[in-house]
Structure 1
Amino acid sequence: MRLFFPPAQRFTVASRHRLAEAQLEQGLLDRAGKFALAALRREAADARGSVALIEQCQPQDAREWMMLGSACLEVREPAYDGRALAAFARALASEGDDTVRLRSLLGSARALMRQDKIAEAERPLAAAVALAPMHGEAAGRYGRTVARSDPDRAVDWLSQQIAAGNRCAAVLESWAGALAAAGRRQQAEAATGLDQFLRQSRAVAPPGWSSLDAFHAALAEELADHPARRPERLGSASVHSVRIDEPHLTGSRHMAALESHLETLIVAHLDSLDGNHPFLRARPAAARVRYWVLLSHGEGHQIPHAHPAGWLSGVYYLSVPEVIAGGSGSEGCLQFVLPERVSAPGRAIEGPTIRPQSGLFVTFPSHAHHRTFPYTPALGDTAPRIVVAFDLEHRDDG
């Protein structure tokens, strides 16, 4: 498999956001520029500001109504869910391309699910699957929604999707969840594939560094005041954490070395994968490595989630407080889980648990649900836990 890391970025999202806001104040943005700023506001966790700007521009076509609906969903309030549904309805009633129509159908289903209208949400999802039968998100969401009322029907339908070649993470995630919801735990565990594909290894110092500790210390120093640091957005899997989505900037000192180090570790794990699981049959010939950094203290943790946009996911621990590394309970640990009931998110069947150590490298299928636990820092310990997380995403152009 060929791996491709994203190019170094010259400007962070935050800097582009500040520039666009200044241009708006000076009256320098045309209509297209205002919609671009609305998208930047969403990335900067200002969903209300995004909604306000789009409404000020008065949406005129299907794409603009779809953007308004998506921004409303980001606010995550009941009143905005209703506004999202209305915006998506306008988008679907307007003439738009299939991509806009698909995004609007999926958005409509999300808004209905937020209102606990599960049966109603099946209709736009079924329409999305009819429009794009092999679309991973559409199939995964449809299967997951059906599983809330009829897990066995969901299992059968998702199994047919997988047999037809739709083996992306979103579909495999929903397949495992539907099996768990149907009470078929052993099959759900086999669908997740952790017994075959969960990998752990300990890193050694990369070339040019006297020790792994020296390498980690240099990375931690750079990340401590990284210009792309930001709090986690509402609705993400991380809680009480700082995130860096653009670690590699043109002025970075050590991020290129980190990428080279990650590539060496990833390739070693890829070479060990073997079998006939649907996960392996979906293995891409070329993959984009999307990675980000999470920094957290005691209360920082991740709620149960998967990575539906990826194929293989993983974490590399740069810094782990001793209270975690030398502990005996679940505090600070990474745990894989199976959803106990699709209708009750948050309730989970516990699976393998991994105790973080500095230099530990872990990979797993992107469809595998996992979470982390908060911990109690030792007295006087102010150093954060620093984790590099990544997804290997399909790169169609090779």
Structure 2
Amino acid sequence: MTRTAFRIAIERAKPLGARQELALLREAYARRPDAPLLRLKLASALIEQDAFDTVIALFDEDVPQNHGESAVLVQALFARGTLTDTHRAVGVLENLPVGPSHAQVLADQAKAYRRLGQRDVAHDRLVRALALAPANLDACMRMAAMHLEADDPDAAIAMLDALADAGVSHGYAFAARARALACAGRIEEARIATGFDAFHHAGTIDTPPGFTRAGFDAALARALLDHPEQRFGRYGTASEQTWRIDKPAVGNVPLVDLLLDTIVRAAERHVAAIADSDHPWVRARPDAGLLNCWCVITDGAGYESWHIHPSAWLSGVYYVQVPHGITNGTDAGGCIAFGLSDEEVGTQAAAAYGVDLVRPETGMLMLFPSHSYHRTFPHGTSERRICLAFDICAA
């Protein structure tokens, strides 16, 4: 059956930055501390700023009132991560009534019990979570990880086969299959399962009207370096010692809008070019896409550790500014690598799988399946490396 053309919309930027929104919520909550919806919104905004102690303090004198508040509190407790926090998270999660999100509650219980060393209890919770919601990302990830930690890749593959038969096709499932196949010594199958070789793209994009290529990139670099939402570090991301802008399109940044429009056209062309493939990842393409983006700015010591983008289908990066020492270098400094982490699959399997190293240059666009494991390396130069990364998720 012929599918309709893939169309991508761009996530609409909020009129306020995260810091402005947080300031307004603080003021509103100070006036109405008895308003539960305000407390939930404030706690969620604080989570975005990594203010975990403050979130936990919001609930020190009052228990969470609903699933939403419980989820935010548990997120903060997991992030702070003390033994006391983990025990408290278990208490919150175990006392939640069964509801529509119970599979996620069970997956989070498993996370807590694994931290406490209670693997049998964690396994039980994951079995129940997947029975309730086979497509739950966290349950899939944690169950596959438990099988691989037990040196049983065949059990992980069998679980993933069963999920695939049930129609599950998210990023964690694709990534876990590649890891399990590599751990089982089935290296070529692992590379095919990832699909990076067949489906990645690296090249240039159309220059936005009214600009030269160099002029546009230089102007965009200045706009991003002056962005008011720039921050150092971000919990829960792969970024290490980096500056980030979580929502670069917030406010009046027309150059970001121009770039995103151009990226959308390039991504739609790429998806059309691979549409005839029978690969499971291509078959799992959503009917329509929604693009969201963020900016990563690295000094010489900054880098990204191994990671995937499990909630997305197609991901990519546009290189706004790349130091000459990276583009003209001979080592891995500042490059992006695609492969598997030796910490997750072992040194032998990671080496057998191999690494695809891509040397970036200013003005280059990369596209790749979101479940492809990738990382970057410190570039060690005195200049900044600036890129705009993005995910294309189901709309």
Question: When the two structures are superposed, what TM-score results if normalisation uses the length of structure 2?
Answer: 0.91
Letter in 1 for 2:314: L
Show the counterpart of 2:18.
13
**Quick check: 2:104–2:138 contact (8 Å CA) kept in 1?**
no
The one-letter amino acid of 2:53's match is: R
Partner amino acid for 2:228? P
**Aligned CA distance change for structure 1 residues 235 and 7 (closer, same or farther; 3 Å):** closer
Other structure's SS at 1:242 match = strand
Gaps of 5+ in 1: none
Distance of 1:115 and 1:324 partners within structure 2: 43
Q: In 2 relative to 1, CA 358–365 (structure 1 residues): closer, same or farther, beyond 3 Å?
A: same
Q: 1:263 to 1:66 in 2, by over 3 A?
A: closer
> 2:248 — aligned with what?
247
Q: Deviations over 1:249-299 (max 9, x none)?
A: 242232221111211221232222142111011011101101111111111
Provide the residue aligned with 2:99 in structure 1.
97
Partner of 1:277: 279
Per-residue deviation at 1:317?
Answer: 0.4
User: In 2, Cα distance between the equivalents of 1:341 and 1:179?
Assistant: 15
Q: Distance in 2 between matches of 1:109 and 1:187?
A: 30
Secondary structure in 2 aligned to 1:167? coil
The 5 Å alignment of 1:176-255 reads 176-209=178-211, 211-255=212-256
Report if the CA contact (8 A) 2:40-2:68 is conserved: no
Percent identity reads 31
Counterpart residue identity of residue 363, structure 1:
L
**Aligned-pair CA distance for 1:341:** 6.2
Which of 25, 38, 48 is the equivalent residue of 2:53? 48
Q: Which stretch of the first structure deviates more once superposed, 352-361 or 182-191?
A: 182-191
Map of 1:173 onto structure 2: 175
Q: Residues 152 and 182 of structure 1 are in contact (CA less than 8 Å); yes or no, is this contact kept in structure 2?
A: yes
347, 353, 373: which one aligns with 2:357? 353
TM-score under structure 1 length normalisation: 0.91
Distance 1:112 1:33 in 2: 31
1:83-162 alignment, distance < 5 Å: 83-91=88-96, 95-99=97-101, 101-149=102-150, 150-162=152-164
Give the residue type in structure 2 aligned to 1:296.
Answer: T
Can you list the C-alpha shifts for 1:105-133, whole angstroms capped at 9, x where unaligned?
12112223334444432221111111112
The answer as to whether partners of 1:63 and 1:96 remain within 8 angstroms in 2 is: no
The reply to whether residue 389 of structure 1 matches residue 354 of structure 2 is no
Residue 103 of structure 1 aligns with an amino acid whose one-letter code is: Q
Q: What letter corresponds to residue 185 of structure 1 in structure 2?
A: I
Asked whether the 8 Å contact 2:202–2:366 carries over to 1, the reply is yes
Shift of 1:47: 1.1
Which stretch shifts more, 221-230 or 315-324? 221-230
Separation in structure 2 between the aligned mates of residue 341 and residue 20 of structure 1, nearest angstrom: 41
For 1:80 and 1:343, locate their aligned partners in 2 and report how far apart those are by CA, in whole Å. 30
C-alpha distance 212-115 of structure 1, shift in aligned 2 (>3 A)? farther
Q: Offset at 1:206?
A: 2.0
Cα distance, 1:343–1:270 mapped onto 2, change above 3 Å: closer
Could you give the per-residue CA deviations for residues 21-67 of structure 1, whole angstroms, max 9, x where no partner exists? Answer: 23334456622211211111111111111111123332244443333
Aligned residues of 1:336 and 1:352 also touching (Cα < 8 A): yes
- Superposition misfits of 4+ residues, deviation over 4 angstroms: 26-29
- In terms of mean alpha carbon deviation, does 226-235 or 385-394 score higher? 226-235
Change (3 A) 1:35 1:355: same
Conserved? CA contact 2:104–2:139, under 8 Å:
no
- Out of 347, 362, 368, the position equivalent to 1:364 is 368
Q: How far apart are 1:146 and its partner, in Å?
A: 2.3
Residue 73 (structure 1) aligned with residue 78 (structure 2) = yes
Unmatched segments (≥5 aa) in structure 2: 1-5
Aligned counterparts of 1:38 and 1:201: Cα–Cα separation in 2: 41
The answer to whether residue 330 in structure 2 is matched with residue 328 in structure 1 is yes
1:31–1:57 contact (8 Å) kept in structure 2: no
Q: Which moved more, 1:364-373 or 1:77-86?
A: 77-86
Q: Which moved more, 1:21-30 or 1:187-196?
A: 21-30
Q: Is contact 1:38-1:54 (8 Å) kept?
A: no
Q: Which residue identity lines up with residue 27 of structure 2 in the other structure?
A: A
Cα distance in 2, alignment partners of residues 172 and 358 from structure 1: 31
- What is the count of residue pairs matched by the alignment? 385
